[in-house]
Structure 1
């Protein structure tokens, strides 16, 4: 009986592994609308901030244009876009995100709009650690039709390598205290936001943005 059970387990184990791998594999993103629209220029809206950190919007907004430009798109200057909104009485990201896409296209003339939402930004404190996490979601919208061309999410933290330090419990407590002081007195979230922005908006990644027409990889995708 035991031998029969062992044989059955040996047969079932590979099946479990296959099912597990299949369930963890992300479905390929449908780029049909993206390829049909062929956006050349992108208007990045001020990010919507769902985190408690008041500086999150400015931090992320200052870093999202670089990966988009590197991907091969013309990105409207953030300072000019921000000033245009202010001149028209639009001062909050929520109000700006609520504007009709066609209205944005009429004002700025861009092909597509990048809508970004910050879900996490800043430090999370525990007894033995202090970790900074930035998590954001984005969607690219055709401003002429309102069609969503692409969407994605990404996150980054300053503790992705794990805590490999020694010293036992006392050492961990001391390290956590030092990290909490550093994180609370310096802007440690800003570089983490840059890493998250690059992961979110860089082209060529799995289910990520397609390359724009200014990229040498544009015709290869």
Structure 2
């Protein structure tokens, strides 16, 4: 079957339009609620662990305060917060995430609460290597109104930036070395720190807005 010239042009136009749409820049995040609330202090709750590694919750929690502080916010001490929950009979992250916002505000007095979820955490082994991956999601909610101020997700992998141009023998040697290192060190904790930094740092267009202690705070005002 022979296509007519007009039909061919039409099909080409559709294909180009589809390609351009797929390559379009991602939509900018709507920071309207964030700018109106202008939170100064953040309560970080223990992350809900959806991975199979029991260390994931405290690994991410222990590395969440620094990027938030560097972003310009006062972060309630996570160890003290966790102990407060424990003293009140709450030791599981799922139960802590279910606490009413008003109660969180009454007890801790923070402007916003950060809900974290660990989606992936740990190493996966395969024939010619292994990869340690950490993926996390976050939601920042106003404790006074319940308004979602911001949400985001980030991941990090031990395989980032690595080249596989070493040949089969080189790949096998590298795989053995990687598996030995993974078995004697907690590489996941290091990767979690990278993921946390990516998730909770100030980033143009998708990350947290600068807090009141950040040099760029005035530029983020409404």
TM-score (norm 1): 0.90
Aligned to 1:96: 96
Secondary structure at the counterpart of residue 154 of structure 1: strand
* 1:75-154 to 2 correspondences below 5 Å: 75-154=75-154
Q: Deviations over 1:132-176 (max 9, x none)?
A: 00000000011112111100000001111133451x223212211
2:164/2:171 contact within 8 Å kept? no
The alignment of Structure 1 onto Structure 2 pairs a total of residues equal to 218
User: What are the ranges of 5 or more consecutive residues in structure 2 without an aligned counterpart?
Assistant: none
| Structure 1 stretch displaced more, 168-177 or 78-87 | 168-177
Q: State the alpha-carbon separation in 2 of the partners of residues 106 and 12 from structure 1.
A: 57
Partner of 2:216: 217
- Separation in 2 of the partners of 1:83 and 1:9? 63
Structure-1 residue corresponding to 2:51: 51
Change (3 A) 1:202 1:5: same
What residue is the counterpart of 1:66 in the other structure? 66
Q: For the residues of structure 1 that align with 2:44 and 2:104, how far apart are their CA atoms?
A: 11
Measured in 2, the distance between the counterparts of 1:145 and 1:181 equals 50
Query: What SS does the aligned partner of 1:51 have?
Result: coil
Distance (Å, rounded) in 1 between the aligned partners of 2:99 and 2:13: 58
Comparing 33-42 with 12-21, greater Cα deviation is found at 12-21
Q: Secondary structure at the match of 2:173?
A: helix
Q: Paired residue for 1:157? A: 157
Where 1:80 maps in the other structure, the secondary structure is: helix
Q: 1:177 to 1:211 in 2, by over 3 A?
A: same
1:9/1:41 CA distance change after superposition, 3 Å:
same
Change in 2 beyond 3 A, CA 1:134/1:7: same
TM-score calculated relative to the size of structure 2: 0.90
Distance in 1 (CA, whole Å) between partners of 2:14 and 2:47 is 48
Q: Distance in 2 between matches of 1:125 and 1:20?
A: 33
Structure 1 unmatched runs, 5+: none
